Amino acid sequence: MNNVLAQSKPHNPNDKVWDHVLPFGGQLAIYNGYDLPLPFGVSFLFSHIEQDQSISNLKVGYGGSANTNIDFLSFDKFRTNTNTPQLKIDAWVLPFLNVFATVGRIKGTIDINMSMPRGSVVTSDPVTNAVNDGIQAYCAKNPVKCRAGSSLLPDTPPDLFNGEPWQLNAEAEVEGYNYSFGAMLAGAIGDWFYTMPIVYTQTEMKKTNVDGGTINIQPRVGYNFPLDHGFELALYTGASYMDTRQTISGGFNLETMEATKDFDAPHTIAFEVEQENTNKWAGILGFNLSLNKHLSAAMEYTGIVGDRTQLILMINGRF
């Protein structure tokens, strides 16, 4: 997200001199009747996001690397719910091009529903034995979150080898950091403006290894409303395309349903899994209130269409 009011908009040409290093071509834009934002920005953002993830190609290992495919487990629900405060720096390198970088701290939960359909054939080996023992240990501690066949536990704990269906749900905590790099194209005609940020994000989790990242593209269009006392309000709408493709690996304690880097703990298996967000597109509504050339605040909601929802709050300072 960027300061949407900091877009150039046409006005009557004047003799104003642009005395900043950036953006390149700034003086030419001034001569052509555009009002430019100050070139550098520092922002504080808070992002809350909820979205469904699809899980595939699950591999596990016991006492070693994750090299055994587990195709009898189905992740019926894998929904992430995270809060991420972020620090962002940006610069207008051209009148129509802003580049930026962010760093943030992720903290939240994952709501997991896992099941095995009736009649699944599971062979006994060290890996599946460890999975089975871990599931039974978890369900013994959390009977209301597990169901074997049509009976609630703990009377009938699920057994991978009996061919009966079972399901369980759990909530796992996640914590880590994310790093983003991006660019934004922008322009204006009168009080109308358009922006299109393109962002790539990588994630570093505290208890797991993550390879891959997220691409986010957000075309927007909006209108600037002049207010009293020199304030300006921008209202905008658009769409958000988000594509997350990650390979997550580490250790997972089936008794506590928590990720860990300790592969040797009881009921802990090594795992590797591919994760992808389910809903790529979502609608956007937002506003930006500019108090002056140096300070603005914004709020953006994503989720008008689709199951992915995101709320962003931002305070931006420019110099």
Residues in the chain: 319
3-state secondary structure of 142: coil
pLDDT at site 55:
92
The DSSP secondary-structure symbol of 267 reads T
Beta bridge mates, 297: 289, 315
Distance (Å, whole) CA 107 – CA 178:
11
pLDDT, one tens digit per residue, over 77-99 is 999 999 999 999 999 999 999 99
User: Distances from the Cα of 136 to the Cαs of 83, 129, 133, 272, 312, in angstroms?
Assistant: 32, 11, 5, 21, 40
pLDDT, one tens digit per residue, over 213-269 is 999 999 999 999 999 999 999 999 999 999 999 999 988 887 777 888 777 777 788
CB neighbours of 155 closer than 8 A, spacing ≥ 6? none
Rounded to two decimals, the pTM is 0.86
Q: In angstroms, how far is the first alpha carbon of the chain from the final one?
A: 18
Let me know: does 276 contact 245? Beta carbons within 8 Å: yes
Token pair recorded at residue 33: 């009747």
| More confident call, 316 vs 143 | 316
Return the percentage of the chain with pLDDT > 90, whole number.
57
Distance (Å, whole) CA 241 – CA 238:
10
Burial class (CB in 10 A: 0-12, 13-18, 19+), 76: exposed
Instruction: Give the domains, in start order, of the chain with CATH numbers.
Output: 36-116+172-318 (2.40.128), 122-160 (no CATH)
pLDDT, one tens digit per residue, over 14-68 is 568 999 999 999 999 998 888 899 999 999 999 999 999 999 998 888 777 788 8
Distance (Å, whole) CA 163 – CA 166:
9
